[in-house]
């Protein structure tokens, strides 16, 4: 191997874009980084952060659509509009920073291997363009994650309710539970829950429990605008309804006093008429 002072790593003669750095080999294939303990392999996906910064700058991700064939024979297609590699022939499966990503009806899964095992993953660090492409599930859609947990999507809260668990929810790779007026979270639904600050709980979920514990009916299932009408279908108008806000209502006009009629002129008496 020959030490390359520019990249700060040992180049391997006869093997393009292959270097020895730290305690392993690394290789770039059009923006995809592979690593191996031996030159003969096996080569596996690794994140770009595990290679020297100088190498990352020399072999950046492509700016146009290209096809990459991994040593395993798997074909990847770089999608510049998403800034990730899509796995050919496998919808909703991608490669990003050394991991395979899979979108399962509102839930992100990750694995180091193309066929799993798959684990729940958070979206932090993923390209925003990819997240925008992911279509949210329909209200009430059910999904079963690899651990066997079944969840149902609540469109009003924009998160999942865990089946058969009244106070357990799932959002962005984490399970949240409300217990004894405290918030807890875990990466698993069956164990590992620890208490967390309310600020770490999704805002919509906090608001939901604030209404629930205050005795206010939840928004989901509430009557729509126009509820509370009588049998005739007409809503009772609130006092002052229909008047412009901020305009002081006029005081009712006082009844005008009745106009007194002038007394009729009396006829002159007899004495007056004799004068």
Average pLDDT, stretch 28-50? 92
Average pLDDT, stretch 20-38? 91
Which one has a higher pLDDT value, 217 or 26? 26
Average pLDDT, stretch 16-30? 90
Contacts of 124 (CB under 8 A, 6+ apart): 172
Phi, psi values for residue 40, rounded to 5°: -80, -5
Look at residue 220 and tell me if it is in a domain: no
- What one-character DSSP code corresponds to residue 148? S
User: Beta strand pairing status for 67-69 and 174-179?
Assistant: unpaired
CA-closest candidate to residue 32, choices 102, 82, 84, 80: 84
Tens digit of each residue's pLDDT (9 = 90 or more) over 92-106: 899 999 999 999 999
Look at residue 271 and tell me if it is in a domain: no
Tens digit of each residue's pLDDT (9 = 90 or more) over 211-256: 988 888 766 544 333 333 333 333 344 444 444 444 454 555 555 5
Distance, CA of 118 to CA of 173 (rounded, Å): 12
Q: To the nearest whole number, what is the mean pLDDT of the chain? A: 82
Look at residue 247 and tell me if it is in a domain: no
Same structural domain, 35 and 93: no
Average pLDDT, stretch 124-132? 92
CA-closest candidate to residue 44, choices 36, 54, 55, 52: 36
Look at residue 92 and tell me if it is in a domain: yes
Q: How many domains does the chain have?
A: 3
Tens digit of each residue's pLDDT (9 = 90 or more) over 147-157: 999 999 999 99
Beta bridge partners of 145: none
End-to-end CA distance of the chain: 154
Look at residue 87 and tell me if it is in a domain: yes
pLDDT of residue 170: 97
Distances (CA, A) of 254 to 158, 248, 251: 57, 18, 9
Distance, CA of 27 to CA of 37 (rounded, Å): 12
Look at residue 14 and tell me if it is in a domain: yes
Look at residue 110 and tell me if it is in a domain: yes
Same structural domain, 67 and 130: yes
User: Looking at 178, 213, 248, which one is the last position of a domain?
Assistant: 213
Contacts of 123 (CB under 8 A, 6+ apart): 108, 131, 172, 173
Look at residue 221 and tell me if it is in a domain: no
Contact 29, 60 (CB under 8 A): no
Same structural domain, 129 and 66: yes
How remote is the C-alpha of 217 from its chain's centroid?
24
User: Looking at 193, 213, 233, which one is the last position of a domain?
Assistant: 213
3-state secondary structure of 143: strand
pLDDT of residue 196: 97
Contact 9, 55 (CB under 8 A): yes
pTM score: 0.73
Same structural domain, 97 and 124: yes
User: Looking at 101, 135, 169, which one is the last position of a domain?
Assistant: 135
Domain extent at residue 93: 61-135
Same structural domain, 147 and 204: yes
Distance, CA of 191 to CA of 194 (rounded, Å): 9
Would residue 212 be called left, alpha or beta, if left means φ above 0 and alpha means ψ between -120 and 50 degrees? alpha
């Amino acid at each position: 191997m020959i030490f390359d002072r520019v990249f700060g790593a040992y180049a391997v003669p006869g093997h393009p874009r292959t270097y020895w750095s730290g305690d392993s080999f690394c290789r770039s294939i059009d923006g995809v980084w592979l690593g191996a303990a031996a030159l003969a392999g096996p080569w596996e996906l690794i994140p770009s952060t595990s290679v020297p910064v100088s190498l990352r700058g020399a072999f950046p991700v492509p700016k146009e659509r290209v096809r990459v064939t991994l040593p395993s024979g798997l074909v990847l297609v770089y999608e510049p509009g998403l800034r990730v590699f899509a796995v050919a022939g496998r919808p909703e499966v991608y490669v990003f920073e050394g991991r395979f990503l899979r979108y399962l009806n509102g839930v992100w899964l990750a694995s180091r291997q193309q066929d799993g095992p798959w684990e729940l993953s958070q979206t932090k660090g993923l390209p925003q363009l990819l997240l925008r492409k992911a279509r949210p599930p329909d209200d009430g859609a059910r999904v079963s994650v690899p651990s066997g947990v079944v969840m149902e999507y609540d469109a009003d809260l924009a998160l999942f309710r865990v089946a058969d668990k009244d106070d357990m929810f799932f959002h962005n790779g984490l399970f949240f539970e409300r217990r004894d007026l405290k918030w807890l979270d875990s990466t698993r639904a069956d164990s590992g829950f620890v208490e967390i600050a309310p600020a770490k709980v999704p805002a919509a979920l906090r608001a939901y429990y604030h209404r629930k514990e205050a005795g206010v009916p939840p928004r989901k299932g509430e009557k729509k605008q126009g509820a509370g009408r009588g049998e005739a279908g007409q809503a009772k108008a609130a006092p002052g309804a229909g008047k412009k806000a901020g305009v002081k209502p006029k005081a009712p006009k006082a009844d005008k006093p009745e106009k007194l009629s002038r007394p009729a002129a009396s006829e002159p008496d007899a004495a007056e008429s004799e004068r």
